[in-house]
Structure 1
Amino acid sequence: MKLTSVPIGMDLFRTTKVLSQAFEARLVEAGGGLPTWLTLLSVKSQASANQRELAGMIGIQGATLTHHLNAMEKQGLLTRRRDPANRRVHRVELTDAGEALFLRLRDVAVAFDKRLRAGIPDDQVAQVAAMLATFRANVGD
């Protein structure tokens, strides 16, 4: 079977790769990176979240999250403490330095999104968002 056009999945993959690399570069310039941004965003979104909840929000395995949290804790961006109600659970909270980095990276994310949407009417952005949701649903479990 000969393909006459690029399959949409391949085109989407290439586009995602270009966007991811550009976004990562902007985050690194601001002193973070994608894992740091996703972790800070998740902690900020759910006050005093535990590690299992954070891993689920980010979409990574617990061991991977632990690696990121260890590094971020060493950098003074967050603290972990045991939950008094369940000593097996660690609660994660941002420090002042973590809050400051969150704000810097949030500004980068907002600026990147604004650049990405430049020249595209809101109704088309909504159509793309709906189409992406359909793609995820079509390949999901």
Structure 2
Amino acid sequence: MGTDADHLHHLLLELVRTAEFALLDELLPGRVLSMSQLLAIHELDLHTGISQRELAERLGLEKSSVSRLVADLEVDGLLTRQRDPDNRRIYRLDITEQGRRLHRDAAGVLHERYERWASAMTEDERAGLAVGIPALLRVMHADRHEAG
């Protein structure tokens, strides 16, 4: 088991190291996005009106990191931030039309990349990923909940 865990460890480190560059490199011409920004836009397009705290939980980031992230996205015109009328301590976040457009464009480019990568793999390789990735995510989520 040790050798398998070591091999998986190295593969996962290489995947994480490569993923952000492979996913975000020239994603949209003239637009630099971090993985956190892209994930935040995705969450806000799916869940309108969530609080900054909820966004932090969904992204697995500290509140201070999300506060800076939200401020940057607001300056870029990708979201709006308004105080909750029922609880003035809470900010509610809504994606703007520009944010929706960015999400849609980025999703289209990423989908094309995923299709290209999948078509370069064999059927067995794709089937292995389709089983292995959900299994890995399942145990990672379970481990995170046990630790938290």
Flag as ranges the 4+ runs of structure 1 deviating above 4 A: none
Residue 12 of structure 1 aligns with which residue? 12
- Identity percentage over the alignment? 22
> TM-score normalised to the size of structure 1?
0.82
CA-CA distance at 1:89 after TM superposition: 0.8
CA-CA distance at 1:134 after TM superposition: 4.9
Contact 2:44 2:93 in 1 (8 A): yes
Residue 115 of structure 1 aligns with which residue? 116
Structure 1 portions without partners, runs of 5+? none
Separation in 1 of the partners of 2:98 and 2:138? Answer: 38
Separation in 2 of the partners of 1:69 and 1:120? Answer: 41
Task: Name the count of aligned residue pairs.
Answer: 138
Separation in 1 of the partners of 2:68 and 2:91? Answer: 14
Stretch deviating more after TM superposition (88-97 or 129-138): 129-138
Classify 1:81/1:134 alpha carbon distance in 2 versus 1 (closer, same or farther; 3 Å): closer
CA-CA distance at 1:135 after TM superposition: 5.0
Contact 1:81 1:90 in 2 (8 A): yes
Residue 104 of structure 1 aligns with which residue? 105
Residue 41 of structure 2 aligns with which residue? 40
Alignment RMSD (CA, Å): 2.4
Structure 2 portions without partners, runs of 5+? none
> TM-score normalised to the size of structure 2?
0.79
Which AA in structure 1 matches 2:127?
D
Separation in 2 of the partners of 1:52 and 1:78? Answer: 15
Contact 2:53 2:63 in 1 (8 A): yes
Q: Deviations over 1:87-131 (max 9, x none)?
A: 111000111211111111111222232233223435333212233
